[in-house]
Chain A
């Protein structure tokens, strides 16, 4: 049976969905709209049911894009998502407000099960609901009590689903014309007021006490958490702890994945006969898969924390205290988490924008997120800083190198906010952003909800973005491994004739051949071809090659520089590469890595969209190639102009 889940925000609807379907969930889209659709399956005996989770709303009439799907589906029985049965989840402590949506769905003649959720809290607050009186008012609708967070009442729900009477002609709750036309706001207003009027006359006889008292615990906590000083202090501390965890614990599994794949491809390349297939597998496909899997530890850790903050109720307070600061930039308080996450990695950051219901605010957040300096830029920054920034101290104790690193992070943040300001003027939107939001009480996080959220995010990333990442990394491999006609072999022949090569040891010979191959490949030729374009920025063709190959991922820049300079680099700190680069000279004898070139490269990496995984995720989140393309162009222009200005100022 096709079952739908409806309810107000903060009624424990997601807990209910997780309770019923567990890990048997998948995320797709409602047809024709960019709204996420969560579907799961569950069984009652031998009977299999499909459950669709709908966005939390207060009525069937929409006020934001994601709410539109509710009215589209429930008012159209021919819609492919129109349910055969709907479960309406309500907060038992706030029956009056929660019943509005229920009475609308009731009048739409959709067979319903009404779940009075969070029954334990209502009981604790002394609220008594006369269920049989409620059932008398809504004949044909089973009404059950539940506490979905701890799984209490699941059997009652299953029994209710199986016994719902579908073929009953019932008199509607509301006598007027219904549903009101979607454009006629006045008719909707009248209808809602009339429904409330009726609810307010009948509910007092059904429930003993009118409304709950907000717990004093939550109030005391809020006094600190929303405090004008302590609020920001606590939030900064929370962020600091999250980043510490990510840097401490994500790198380890990332190294494991890397080593596993290096071992695997070394073994495969020995086990398989030499040839194109061997190379494709060990140098194209396996590194591509590794490139996808490498992001999983960061995604998992970030979403662990985000889910924890969300489950506990803290996240809505962060939104509350950050909203005013973000608003001048066309952003929302909800943008803060994606932007902060992007300092670790833009991929989970962009995936976290789903909580922003306003499309314009969400889109701006998605576009500016990759400007926040992510962890993949660190190897590039540290190499370049070590190369061109002297190890001196400002005022005797502030490391100049550290100061430059800080400046690069700040540059990214400032650029992100400025870009947001510009985008705010250009992106049109029919809905205006708003922050009418219910802030839930603090509660203990439920671990299974957190685990399900992490699994879902990883699944989406691996299957949707993974395909694109794999495809692009194979293309990049082909371009680096092959060249036009005999361009590569002539480069190799040339290098073999040099006296340096003849005198070299075997490993040195190998790196020299690898360098010659890369130089003769399609990427190498393109690198040389674009030299006139990048020489105003102070770059030579070797940097050009590294720029192109690092389109896959920024950190590839360092490895690619090693290869093209034929540096055999064994230690992690790239000391060989550093000395080698310091000695690199232009044709006029000046060093290639001058301060101007180094700084210009750093600025380039702050701005450039050098991450195909991010582009793939933006495509996935915005449902078209349009926005990742625009993003690529905007950031490309910023990178080029920024690097050019830096180079010109410093020479």
Chain B
């Protein structure tokens, strides 16, 4: 099921489907994010925003405003 990265729960592992951020898509792509990249939601800051995800072994922080443009699907079990 397609959803945005801002909606997933703590500890969930997801696969990136598409990135549609109006001006930061390229930054995310440069950082190694692409369709098929595995992301794990490791931490949420107090108040639930920003979030920290594990991507290719590095810890990346994102605001929900940025995460909502990253569309993901749950890892098939």
Contact = CB atoms under 8 A, between A and B. Distances in A.
A229 B46 CA distance: 8
A436 B56 contact: no
Interface string B33-73: 01000000011011111101010111111110010000000
A92 interface: no
Given A63-B27, A439-B60, A434 B66 contact: yes
Interface in A595-616: none
B62 A97 contact: no
A149 B42 CA distance: 28
Contacts of B56: 94, 96-97, 211
Nearest to B62: A436
Contacts of B31: 58, 97, 436, 438
A189 B25 contact: yes
Interface in A30-75: 58-59, 61, 63
Given A193-B29, A434-B24, A320 B60 contact: no
B40 to A, nearest CB: 10
B28 interface: yes
B34 A94 contact: no
Contact of B57 (A212, A324, A434): A212
B46 A436 contact: no
A622 B58 CA distance: 33
B61 A320 contact: yes
Contacts of B43: 222-223, 226, 320
Interface in A419-446: 432, 434-441
A interface SS class: helix
Interface string A181-212: 00001001100110010000000000000011
A569 interface: no
Given A94-B57, A226-B43, A436-B24, A324 B30 contact: no
B59 A231 contact: no
Contacts of B59: 214, 218, 222, 438-441
A437 B45 CA distance: 14
A229 B47 CA distance: 11
Contact of A324 (B25, B28, B49, B66): B49
Interface residues of A, number: 47
Interface residues of B, number: 30
B76 interface: no
A218 B61 CA distance: 15
A124 interface: no
A93 interface: yes
Contacts of B47: 228, 324-325
A348 B29 CA distance: 36
Name, among A93, A228, A324, the residue most crowded by chain B CB atoms within 10 Å (CB to CB): A324
Given A213-B57, A320-B52, A321-B45, A436 B30 contact: no
A96 B33 CA distance: 12
Given A323-B50, A435-B63, A214 B58 contact: yes
Contacts of B46: 227-229, 231-232, 321, 324
A219 interface: yes
B35 to A, nearest CB: 10
B9 interface: no
Interface in B10-24: 23-24
A196 B29 CA distance: 9
Nearest to B47: A324
Interface string A223-246: 100111101100000000000000
27 contacts: A58-B30, A61-B26, A63-B26, A63-B27, A96-B56, A97-B32, A97-B56, A189-B26, A193-B29, A196-B32, A211-B56, A211-B57, A214-B57, A219-B42, A222-B43, A226-B45, A227-B46, A228-B46, A432-B23, A434-B24, A435-B50, A436-B66, A438-B59, A439-B58, A439-B59, A439-B60, A439-B61
Given A226-B52, A439-B58, 14 more contacts: A97-B31, A97-B32, A212-B57, A214-B54, A214-B59, A222-B42, A223-B43, A226-B43, A229-B46, A321-B45, A327-B63, A436-B28, A438-B60, A439-B61
Interface of A: 58-59, 61, 63, 93-94, 96-97, 100, 185, 188-189, 192-193, 196, 211-214, 218-219, 222-223, 226-229, 231-232, 316, 319-321, 323-325, 327, 333, 432, 434-441
Report the 3 A-B pairs with minimum CB-CB distance, sorted nearest first: A228-B46, A58-B30, A97-B32
